Amino acid sequence: MLFCRAGSQIRTARPNPATSTMKRAPWQISLRQLRQMPLFHDVPLRSFHASLKAFSPYRLMPGEVLLSPFKRNQYLYLLLEGQLNVYLESPDSHSISTLHPGDCVGELSFIDNLLPSAYVIAPEPCQILRLHHSALPLLSQIAPELMRNLLIILCSRTRRADRMFRDSELSANIDALTGIYNRRWLEHIFERENTRNAFDQRPLSLLMLDVDHFKDYNDQHGHLAGDYALSMVAHTLSQQLRPHDTLVRYGGEEFVILMPSVLDEACVIGERMRSALEQIEWFHSQVGLLPGVTISIGVAQHHPKDSLLTLIARADKALYRAKRCGRNSLHC
């Protein structure tokens, strides 16, 4: 019986990404079950049996590293039994996905013969089929349907990776408490709006908002109540804005709104938001009925040479003047 070496066996509590051993062992899955797996979908029976000769069955022990970004991979793996965990940064991080029987792994590095992009580790005993890169030309001739399925699997994996990337980017730009954009997104959206402003001379204004006496509110009602108050403020402000206005939690009890408007129009919208919050005397929360809050607002219009910091600084000065006027007010 032929054994293919892939490194040395893992014996430590945490997997070592540099070494691993797989032992060849006959599979215990029926051919009927195998044919139902996505890789062999609609492959004619004669081509199916011919292509199986290029695969070799192996067994993984718990903790063995199947793929590592530090070791070149020349194999496509089909999981028959058990499960495999995928780690993006290191084996010590949280797994980003789990592979189950019928899933393929290593298809990208199998095709381009480059380093894998993630760790794949067996948390439990697994049975796999292994296909070497050199079998690609032969399989293209005897089982083109299998190669089509491999491309479909690769496309599906790529699309999932794209969705995960978009979701992670979105999460990085969203404030976890209020569900609105955070300061990181403000920097991005300002660059975009600043470019549009320079191109078509469209006006741009920035509103700096601060919840009045928020420290006293927290001290009196508790920090959890303060969190609910901030969420209520974000929700109320969002209802008053237009689709092209951008609401951001700038930090703490401060909010920023970037809107493509002249100063007078921005002040009108700001006053409408201030009034809407003033009218909320009480609101319901998971900790019971809570008193509403008011806001003070400073407004500044963008100048041609303004950076985000200089625009915020001018709006912040206007906000300070609104506070000096007794709070629950707006200053342009």
Rounded Cα distance, 274 and 272, in Å = 6
Is 11's pLDDT higher than 60? no
The answer to pTM > 0.75 is: no
Determine the Cα–Cα distance for residues 297 and 273; give it in Å rounded to an integer: 9
> Strand 65-67 and strand 119-121: pairing?
antiparallel
Encode pLDDT of 185-234 as tens digits.
898 899 888 888 777 778 999 999 999 999 999 999 999 999 999 999 99
The CA–CA distances, whole Å, from 88 to 76, 123, 165, 170, 186 equal 19, 16, 12, 18, 28
Query: Which are the catalytic amino acids?
Result: 253
Model confidence band, residue 4 (pLDDT cutoffs 50, 70, 90): very low
120-139 per-position pLDDT tens digit:
999 999 999 999 999 989 88
pLDDT in tens, 234-286: 999 999 999 889 999 999 999 999 999 999 999 999 999 999 999 999 999 98
Q: What is the pLDDT of residue 167?
A: 58
- Give yes or no for residue 10 having a pLDDT over 70: no
